[in-house]
Amino acid sequence: MKNKFLPVTIFIFGLFAATNVDAQSRKFFAVTGEQFGSTNWISFRQLDLDGKTLKTLYVPAESNELVYDAESRSQLINLDANAAVPKEACGCLNSRMVAAIAYDAVNNRLYYTQMLGNQLRYLDLNGAQPKSYAVTSQLLKNFAAKQGEGSVITRMVIASDGNGYALTNDNEHLIRFTTGNKTKITDLGKLVDAKSNGENSINQEFKTWGGDLIADANGNLYLFTMQRLIYKINPGTKLATFIGQIKNMPDDYSINAAMVADIENVVVGSSTKTTSYYRVNLNTLEAVAINKAADKVYNVSDFANEKFAFDNKSDAIAKTLVQNGVKAYPNPVTVDRLNVQFSNFKDGKYTIQLNEMQGKSILKKEVRIKGSQTESITVASVTAGMYAINVINDKGEIVYSNKVIVSK
């Protein structure tokens, strides 16, 4: 099998010169080949939107690579001992190749995993020189690998709940990991089809492989597949809803990288094409080639940045928050009840869910909403701390997500 399913690169010229963003939001990351056109994805790079500050952050050593333990901070010497996939089972040029990265803006870390490995790692970008740290207390892939590329992790993102999510090619393992000082890794299991998917099942070999994950501000994930399909994923229920296929893009343009550009636009790139990157509108699914300052762009495998789609809380795909709203109060919660106010809401059944920040559900209430009304849930048994509150529709989609602090 050719490695076109599994890539990683970045070199974006002035993609959004007119966008008003601060210095931190201008950062974009990817893993590229050693040089233009190379598919040996080992060079971690950073690019500013002005296209002038491309720099190499990190290139793993061929042998005796210096890595630090994520918890003890002690030095480790890596000799590829964590390899879990036979080299012949993957179209990899070497064991250092990476196909999935995610940027954690809170801690300024770039998470990644090696294509032939089963370990979660991150680059700490806070020092003068990035350092690589490995989570040794748990494996990212704690399951038997399949022959071929199905078990390879090619998609990764940091979601609005603060957790990282990684996804295998075959969609059989959606893996959540925390991003604090002590990492907790949970294999959530296989993605399941929404009833509306029909023939566009999430479980189509190759057709739903590759690509990348992005996240929105309402707690959802979006899978852009190699074959230009888009699925919306509820990480709590693992429900994958087919959104559609990207329009106005060449049939031979395989998508291997995606990152949020602004409220409703995503930039995608290919591991095989150097013609252009494309901007895709999440509302219309229309793709437009991005003007570039050079004849070619680097062929890419995975983008990473800190932005979330629909960060104005107006998820136009879900259709339930376009002209309506949700308010959870009081926040902080200093009494035994948390109120959830619905305004101009689409009639239907919804679930109010209170989760720990690691993702575990601790309270749940099913309600019937007709227009505008206020529901409440009892939090008398909830210990003080920060929690995520989600409102989920009858399709399993998160239509509202926020954080609340219990301090009673």
Mean pLDDT of 38-63: 74
**Number of domains comprising the chain:** 2
Give a yes or no: residue 319 inside a domain: no
* Residue 110 pLDDT exceeds 80: yes
Share of the chain above pLDDT 70, in %: 84
pLDDT of residue 26: 53
- What is the domain extent for residue 335? 325-406
Domain for residue 311, yes or no?
no
The tens digit of pLDDT for each residue in 154-199 reads 999 999 989 999 999 999 999 999 998 889 999 999 999 999 999 9
Query: Is 152 found in the same domain as 108?
Result: yes
At 324 the pLDDT is: 53
Residues 250 and 291 in one domain: yes
Q: How confident is the model at residue 290 (pLDDT cuts 50, 70, 90)?
A: confident
Given a cut of 90, whether residue 287 has pLDDT beyond it is: yes
- In this structure, the answer to whether residues 290 and 366 fall within a common structural domain is no
3-state secondary structure the chain: CCHHHCCCCCCCCCCCCCCCCCCHHHEEEEEECCCCCCCCCCEEEEEECCCCCCEEEECCCCCCEEEEECCCCCEEEECCCCECCCHHHCCCCCCCCEEEEEEECCCCEEEEEECCECCCEEEECCCCCCEEEECCCCCCCCCCCCCCCCCCEEEEEECCCCCEEEEECCCCCEEEECCCCCCCEEEEECCEECHHHCCCCCCCCCCCCCCEEEEECCCCEEEECCCCEEEEEECCCCEEEEEEECECCCCCCCCCEEEECCCCEEEEECCCCCCCCEEEECCCCEEEECCCCCCCCCCCCCEECCCCECCCCCCCCCCCCCCCEEEEECCCECCCEEEEEEEEEEEEEEEEEEEECCCCEEEEEEEEEEEEEEEEEECCCCCCEEEEEEEEECCCCEEEEEEEEECC
Q: Does 310 map to a domain? A: no
Among 248, 275, 304, the domain boundary falls at: 304
Same domain, 67 and 149: yes
Q: Do 156 and 30 share a structural domain? A: yes
Name the domain boundary from 253, 274, 304: 304
Same domain, 359 and 218: no
* CATH number of the domain encompassing residue 246: 2.120.10
Checking if the pLDDT of 375 tops 60, the result is yes
Average pLDDT over every residue of 314-331: 56
Q: Is the pLDDT of residue 85 over 60?
A: no
- Reported as a single tens digit per residue, the pLDDT across 214-231 is 999 888 999 999 999 999
- Tell me: the pLDDT tens digits for 188-217? 999 999 999 999 999 999 999 999 999 998
- Residue 353 and residue 395 in one domain: yes
- Whether 320 is in a domain gets the answer no
Is residue 352 in some structural domain?
yes
In a shared domain, residues 298 and 368: no
The model's pTM: 0.72
Task: Tell me if 390 is assigned to some domain.
Answer: yes
Q: Are residues 162 and 37 in the same domain?
A: yes
Predicted local distance difference test score (pLDDT) of residue 45? 87
Q: What is the pLDDT of residues 5-23, one digit of tens each?
A: 443 333 333 333 333 334 4
Give 408's pLDDT tier (boundaries 50, 70, 90): low
Residues 295, 332, single domain; the answer is no
Q: In terms of pLDDT, which residue wins out, 364 or 36?
A: 364
pLDDT band at 83 (very low <50, low <70, confident <90, very high): very low
- Looking at the domain assignment, is residue 145 inside a domain? yes
pLDDT score recorded for residue 218: 85
- State the pLDDT at residue 312: 66
Q: What is the pLDDT of residue 152?
A: 94
pLDDT in tens, 259-278: 998 889 999 988 888 888 89
In the predicted model, what is the mean pLDDT of the chain?
Answer: 83
Same domain, 297 and 153: yes
In a domain, 318, yes or no: no
* pLDDT-derived band at 322, boundaries 50, 70, 90: very low
**CATH number for position 360:** 2.60.40.10
- State whether 263 and 355 are in the same domain: no
Residue 148 has pLDDT above 80, yes or no: yes
- Is residue 40 scored above 50 in pLDDT? yes
